[in-house]
Amino acid sequence: MQTERLTTLRNKMKANGLDGFIVNSKPNRYYLSGFTGTYGQVLIAPDAQYVIADGRYFEQLKTQSPDFEVVDNQMRMNSTINKLLADHNYHRLGIEEDEMNVTEYLALTAGEHGAELVPTQDWIESQRMIKSADEKSKIEAAGKISDAAFKHILTYIKPGMTEKQVANEIDSWGLDHGADARSFETIVASGKRSALPHGHASNKVIENNEMIILDFGFEKDRYFSDITRTIVLGHVDDELKHIYDVTQEAQRTAIRASHVGVPLKDLDKAARDYISDAGLGDKFLHGTGHGLGLTVHEYPLLNRDSTEKLQKHMTYTVEPGIYLENHGGCRIEDDIWINDDGESEQMTHSPEHMIEL
């Protein structure tokens, strides 16, 4: 698998006249080399591959990256890379334009013999977009923890608790039941705060008869899940019930539209048109979803500007939402896989109907 990933990247390098490719992104370093260290660089050349790191990582590199030549940077990363480039006459190199910092860029391009650095966008991320069976199983495992955490929180949440108390319980329950980490800062937003799409948990006390958005996920074996459910303690008014029904059907509409060959912007349009037809189009404040894998928000996005089409073995979220300022909001999100038949399968399975506790 690693050989295939490197071959795909090298073919892009050859087509663009590159001598090498510098990988700054930690997820991309892991994807190509298996290296999990927090400090290090990967250089891919047409006929060689290197991990540039210091002595703290030499032992783990023997098992994680046995097919890579390890270069000791002696805690001087930029000068070590410059020497490596000069020694092998690597001059024209691709870089990840969103990952390399200015200091690194200036150090590698300085002087008469500085390298020519060619910015690239989403080269490796577009490879990561298609998942292997092993990657899918890890995302599913993370999703099972999220589903179980949601089931647990339904028995835990009570009026009088703060949003932070609930968020902390979600996090600790997942970590106690197999998760390696939480996917991101867990969102718990209740009452009027549920109208904030990213209403991170606050000290607000949760009361009866409020909408509550719960948006969370977990990491398992370096892969992520991401799920959102909106629940109610007690009962809410008809307007909030209505936006729940519209959100739920908008999500179902987008998932039903998910087949190989469908442009991602059409999935966004399917959800957005359904919400717009209900007279709430201006209350849908974000895209319909995003890729999911080694990072919780990864390439590609599902929005009006998406250029990709659905392919077999893509994994992504579908998460429409409706937000009524100073009243309340709703979002429902699931993790989706495109199977061997080119059809969509859900990888998260928490109940989607409105739950009134």
pLDDT in tens, 206-225: 999 999 999 999 999 999 99
pLDDT in tens, 44-53: 999 999 999 9
Measured CA to CA in angstroms, residue 208 lies from 47, 236, 246 at distances of 64, 9, 23
Q: Tell me what the mean pLDDT of segment 249-275 comes to.
A: 98
The overall average pLDDT reported for the chain is: 97
Residue 71: pLDDT band (50, 70, 90) is very high
Residue given tokens 């949440």 in the structure block: 157
Residue 111: pLDDT band (50, 70, 90) is confident
Given a contact cutoff of 8 angstroms between Cβ atoms, the answer to whether 299 and 291 are in contact is: yes
Phi, psi of 316 (to 5 degrees): -160, 170
- As a whole number of angstroms, the distance between CA 255 and CA 346 comes to 9
**CA contacts within 13 A on the Cβ side of 312:** 6
* Helices within the chain (DSSP H only): 2-15, 26-33, 58-64, 77-88, 102-109, 123-128, 133-156, 163-176, 238-256, 264-277
Whether the pLDDT of residue 166 is over 90: the answer is yes
pTM: 0.95
Q: Tell me what the mean pLDDT of segment 133-156 comes to.
A: 98
Output the pLDDT for position 113. Answer: 82
Q: Does the bond joining 300 to the residue before it have cis omega, within 30 degrees of 0?
A: yes
- As a whole number of angstroms, the distance between CA 121 and CA 69 comes to 26
- When the candidates are 3.90.1300.10, 3.50.50.60, 3.40.350.10, 3.40.50.150, the CATH number that belongs to 2-128 is 3.40.350.10
- As a whole number of angstroms, the distance between CA 206 and CA 255 comes to 32
Are 2-128 and 133-356 equal in CATH topology? no
> Domain extents for the chain?
2-128, 133-356
Tokens at 272, concatenated: 């957005």
**What architecture (CATH level 2) is domain 133-356?**
Alpha-Beta Complex (3.90)
Percent of the chain with pLDDT over 90: 98
